[in-house]
A and B are shown apart, each in its own frame.
Chain A
Amino acid sequence: MPQFPSKEWLDEYALRINQSAAYREAAATWEGDVCYVFEPEPDRGVPREIWSWLDLWHGACRGARYDFPPEEGARAKFVIRAPYSRWKEVINKELNPVKGMMQGKLKLTGDMPTIVRHVRAAEELVNIAASVPTEFVDEPAS
């Protein structure tokens, strides 16, 4: 089972994005790469900031990168950042991403009208993330 966060988890996520008919339909007009930034929480096993990148284009994921320099990630069209434990809440579907953004728990930079037009696509990305069998780094399997 892939650990979150890790390259294995991100690759499995990208694979599942490409297998999702619901995402393909919801994101049919989406154009733009997205960075997820996992902010450090040393006491939970994330000692430093980790950047991950998805090249999302018209309902497909054309590529994924994990753990690379922030100056490269900052060039992405959209950047969503939050501490590791917030991402865990999103993956566990305990935090709705729209509500999380309104509460400032997830911080988004990028063109807001594009995000608003594609809320359903964002929800599908969360559904896909929730479908990935996940071992959280702060809850290692015994």
Chain B
Amino acid sequence: MGIEVQLPDEEPNGLAAMIGGLIEANLRAHPERSALLAHPATYAITAPDAAVSVSIRLAQHEVTVRNGLSGTPDIAIETGSENLIGLSSVPLRFGLPDLTKKEGRAVNRKLLSGELKVRGLFRHPRKLARLNKLLSVT
């Protein structure tokens, strides 16, 4: 049985609907990825150019995506809408962008230039890797 992503807001914003749909479809297509939900983690994702944010909470076999920012997440990601959607297509190695591939190196350049901001990257690399795997379409 697939895992249903919870969208508790009465009107989930577009980003929440997209991320919820992406995670749900990935868990349906790759049931083994449900192991990524075994431990709790919290995330925030913001696309400033679209003026939209979401908060994601992973708990045991549950994913909740809410509109806006809440609390202090383990990982906070901020980048433009087109970069954000592109991140799901970047090849991963151990859950992080594969630096042997040009797409992975491009992510690194965006991190260094500040075009992509990831707070919690060094403190919670495993949690970031879990989110990347949940969102990955590669």
B18 to chain A, nearest CB (A): 6
Q: Is the CB of A102 within 8 A of B89?
A: no
A25 CA to B25 CA in the complex, in Å? 25
Convert B23-60 into 0s and 1s, putting 1 for each residue whose CB lies closer than 8 angstroms to a CB of A: 00110010000000000000000010111100000000
Q: Which of the residues A99, A104, A107, A108 comes within 8 Å of B81, measured between beta carbons?
A: A99
Convert A63-89 into 0s and 1s, putting 1 for each residue whose CB lies closer than 8 angstroms to a CB of B: 000000000000000000000000000
Whether A112 contacts B25 in the complex (CB less than 8 A), given A96-B81, A117-B137, comes out as yes
A98 at the interface (CB under 8 A from B): yes
Convert A99-128 into 0s and 1s, putting 1 for each residue whose CB lies closer than 8 angstroms to a CB of B: 111111111100111001101000000000
Chain A contact residue count (CB 8 A cutoff): 18
Inside 8 A of B137's CB, which chain A residues have their CB? 113, 116-117
B2 at the interface (CB under 8 A from A): no
Chain B interface residue number, banded:
20 to 34
Inside 8 A of A101's CB, which chain B residues have their CB? 14, 18
Whether A119 contacts B86 in the complex (CB less than 8 A), given A99-B50, A104-B17, comes out as yes
Inside 8 A of A106's CB, which chain B residues have their CB? 14
A106 CA to B15 CA in the complex, in Å? 11
Inside 8 A of A98's CB, which chain B residues have their CB? 81-82, 85
B22 at the interface (CB under 8 A from A): yes
Give 23 CB contacts A-B under 8 Å.
A96-B81, A100-B14, A101-B14, A101-B18, A102-B13, A102-B14, A102-B18, A102-B81, A103-B13, A103-B14, A103-B50, A103-B51, A104-B13, A106-B14, A108-B17, A108-B18, A112-B18, A112-B21, A113-B22, A113-B88, A116-B137, A119-B86, A119-B89
Q: Which residues of A come within 8 Å of B, CB atoms?
A: 96, 98-108, 111-113, 116-117, 119
